[in-house]
Structure 1
Amino acid sequence: MLRKVTKRFLSYKEPISLKYCDLHSPRNLSNELFEAFGKDGLGLLSISGIPYYRSQRQKLLSLSYELSHLSVLDKAKIENPESGFNIGWKESSSQYPCGTFTANPIDDYNQDAFYQNLWPLQSLPSLRPTFRELSTTIMKTVFLLAMHIDKYMELLFPYSNSQSFEGLLCDSHNHIGSLNHSLSYNQGREDNDFNWKNYSGLLTAYTCPLFINTVTASPLPFEFFDYETGIIVKDANNESVHIKINNDMLIIQVGFVSQILSGGVFRPKPTTVYHDEKFAGTGRSEFRMLLNPNDDCQLQCPDEVNAFTSNVTENEVKEYWKSGATFASIASLIN
């Protein structure tokens, strides 16, 4: 018997949004943080009005098309199979062309992880400075948000030795940026076909994608895509919600480490990427940053009793995490 194909309606929603100037103000952002990252939130929020962000995003995402179309020889020079392709260039072997370039925006050589960034310095020399410019802007923005998260945690746990989100991020040399270019295709809308993912880390930052005409190799007008991100989130009711942002917004998402450090107040939500049929055949470029503590950082939970509920996934986190467990040990078990 043929399996019946069902298409579900995806509701569109704009996440809780902050202005960059909010991060520099003495405003109490506790309500916004709870609505965005709490149990009933989407596990993410957007930040707009970030200085230089829009132009830096445009420059870097445009380069991802050029990077993906370098010669086979040039791309082979920036591949690192010894790292499991976790650094440098990785090309998908699927029927839908896709390639990802990954680098540490802070250190070209990470002594703790024993890897070295691989830049296409000869074939695409502008990639390194452009990658670092946007990464630096994103990190500074996330660090400011982390400062407000710390203020919120101090209100929630005034008598607990809560770990500082800002301190963990500022001290870390473990941040990773990934630049991706792929060919959009008609995926269909059945939830079972989606590759749902939960992030183990502290915070993840996404840009809105840039769509490229694969014939002319030029970016398509943003207005044509009507705030399209392709990011789908399962909300608190287990419903699929399509996130809408514009090209001035940066998305910040919490992971399981945030759940531990917040005593269960922050709740990550599963996400996936969906390609609508109207975008089939267009190039899609995007950038994301994983902002995490150092691998040897020992994680502490300010409220172990109430940090985890009966949710299956959260029980798994509780099973993996013990007081003082390092970030590397948690990440290896959850990923």
Structure 2
Amino acid sequence: MAAVVVPSSMQISITVVGNKNGKRMSSHNRQILKLKSRKTFKTRASFEDVNFSTAKVVTIRYSDLAVPNYPKLRKNLLQLSHRLAALPDDAKKNLEDPDSRYSFGWSHGKEKLESGQPDKFKGSFYANPIVDVPTNVEDLIQRYPSYCRENVWPKSTLPELELAFKDLGKLIFNVGSLLAAHCDKYVAKQNWDAPSLKDILGRSLCHKGRLLHYFPIVQSDNNSTPWCGWHTDHGSLTGLTSAMYMKGDSEVNCPDNTAGLYIKTRTNAVVKVSYGENNIAYQVGEATEILSNGLFHATPHCVKTAKGEKASGIERNTFALFMQPNWDEPMYNLVSVAYLHKELMKSNGSMPFGDYSEQLLNKYYGLHSP
């Protein structure tokens, strides 16, 4: 399931598109709920009447809500992604944190593609936009380095990045917390005694922002290789900006309308997710699938590369906020995601979120546990 939040009205509607056979519903059967909001960031909306099990994409529209400064914050940060990637190699090297499995600061060529080769197609900058120092407990820092280490900021080479990153990350978190509250209401209606997603995210110190720069395509590149292969996120909710495409220092339109974000539905139908520059998209992650006992499904997704002569020299910049449980949050019902990570399942079917995610990072980066 993927949800798209459109930050623009005081009225919210939830649109469910598709049915259990993967076919598009006729307009008279499409479920649309009109929900009132009290004011910005406070709503009495509910998902109670939405059948998520039969939905392809659920859209929550805030038409005219005026989420404060979102278009400006998005543009500021994504333009900085271009500038960050253009820094000298030694400056970017100083922003790397190998002890965190490159989960803080700059990372390029550290993750593995499906072929097993290093991923050179994109560079990433990771930071926690909510807290700079999650903990000072050394044992926790050693056990969960991808969450408990401090942020690394380019204070001398690109000082404006820190504020831009935090401002956008906190805004996407606040909107995502509203979405989490609606998810809680839906789970409660199914009589599943699950912990509150909103509360879990509210007390967590593990949230992680990822500023992504997909390097320009050249004609010699194999354009059949996606910018980002099929995968699911291991957190709870992932908030996504729409991408900014650039050529040189100028923003341009994407030259290939087949490029961009794709998801798979529960029926394995592949759907291109299109949303505007003033919209925020949220994807469900594995932690929400686990804690809801499969009522919500993690969203398989990939990013397809732009193709054709006009795509040469085009770069893609975007930002993702991974809203995640705290490292000590218990994760029960791991059997619900055994189809994704069978090799990581413990016999007792449970482990803290920190252990779960550290093992997955080892898998993705081809590293061993500390």
TM over 0.5: yes
Matched, 1:56 2:84: no
Partner of 2:43: 25
Partner of 1:196: 230
Partner of 2:200: 168
For the aligned residue pairs, the C-alpha RMSD in angstroms reads: 3.2
Q: List aligned pairs for 1:91-106, cutoff 5 A.
A: 91-92=108-109, 98-106=122-130
Moved over 6 A (4+): 226-229
CA distance in 2, matches of 1:76, 1:333: 25
Partner of 2:328: 296
- For residue 153 of structure 1, the aligned residue among 181, 184, 187 is 187
Change in 2 beyond 3 A, CA 1:264/1:314: farther
CA distance in 1, matches of 2:304, 2:324: 26
In the TM superposition, residue 265 of structure 1 has moved relative to its aligned partner by 0.9
In the TM superposition, residue 73 of structure 1 has moved relative to its aligned partner by 2.6
Question: Which TM-score applies when normalising by structure 1?
Answer: 0.79
Task: String of CA shifts for 1:191-246, please: whole Å, max 9, x gaps.
Answer: 9x9721122221111111101112xx1222x5x66887711212233232221111
DSSP 3-state at the match of 2:331 = coil
Gaps of 5+ in 2: 13-40, 111-117, 142-147, 362-370
Matched, 1:235 2:265: yes
Q: Is the CA contact 2:338–2:345 (under 8 Å) kept in the aligned structure 1?
A: no
CA distance in 2, matches of 1:208, 1:228: 15
Q: Is the CA contact 2:3–2:282 (under 8 Å) kept in the aligned structure 1?
A: no
In the TM superposition, residue 135 of structure 1 has moved relative to its aligned partner by 0.5
CA distance in 2, matches of 1:95, 1:320: 29
Code of the aligned partner of 1:110: P
Q: List aligned pairs for 1:208-219, cutoff 5 A.
A: 208-214=242-248, 217-219=249-251
Gaps of 5+ in 1: 1-13
Task: String of CA shifts for 1:162-200, please: whole Å, max 9, x gaps.
Answer: 201010101001000011112243654589x97211222
Partner of 1:8: none
Question: Which TM-score applies when normalising by structure 2?
Answer: 0.72
In the TM superposition, residue 17 of structure 1 has moved relative to its aligned partner by 4.3
Q: Is the CA contact 2:4–2:282 (under 8 Å) kept in the aligned structure 1?
A: no
In the TM superposition, residue 144 of structure 1 has moved relative to its aligned partner by 1.1
Change in 2 beyond 3 A, CA 1:321/1:174: farther
In the TM superposition, residue 47 of structure 1 has moved relative to its aligned partner by 5.7
DSSP 3-state at the match of 2:75 = helix
With CA pairs under 8 Å and 6+ residues apart, which has the higher RCO, 1 or 2? 1
Partner of 2:316: 284
Q: How many residues were matched structurally?
A: 305
DSSP 3-state at the match of 1:267 = coil
DSSP 3-state at the match of 2:330 = coil
- For residue 138 of structure 1, the aligned residue among 172, 178, 184 is 172
In the TM superposition, residue 19 of structure 1 has moved relative to its aligned partner by 4.5
Q: Is the CA contact 1:45–1:253 (under 8 Å) kept in the aligned structure 2?
A: no
In the TM superposition, residue 52 of structure 1 has moved relative to its aligned partner by 1.4
- For residue 328 of structure 1, the aligned residue among 354, 366, 369 is 354
Q: Is the CA contact 2:244–2:318 (under 8 Å) kept in the aligned structure 1?
A: yes
CA distance in 2, matches of 1:115, 1:68: 23
Task: String of CA shifts for 1:130-162, please: whole Å, max 9, x gaps.
Answer: 0000001001001111111112222222xx542
Q: Is the CA contact 1:187–1:276 (under 8 Å) kept in the aligned structure 2?
A: no
Partner of 1:90: 107
CA distance in 1, matches of 2:108, 2:5: 35
CA distance in 2, matches of 1:118, 1:288: 17
Q: Is the CA contact 2:2–2:299 (under 8 Å) kept in the aligned structure 1?
A: no
CA distance in 2, matches of 1:47, 1:226: 27
Matched, 1:80 2:97: yes
Q: Is the CA contact 1:47–1:251 (under 8 Å) kept in the aligned structure 2?
A: no
Task: String of CA shifts for 1:282-330, please: whole Å, max 9, x gaps.
Answer: 11111111111111111345xx9xx84xx97168399448565311233
CA distance in 2, matches of 1:144, 1:225: 35
Partner of 2:56: 41
Q: Is the CA contact 1:231–1:271 (under 8 Å) kept in the aligned structure 2?
A: yes
Matched, 1:267 2:293: no
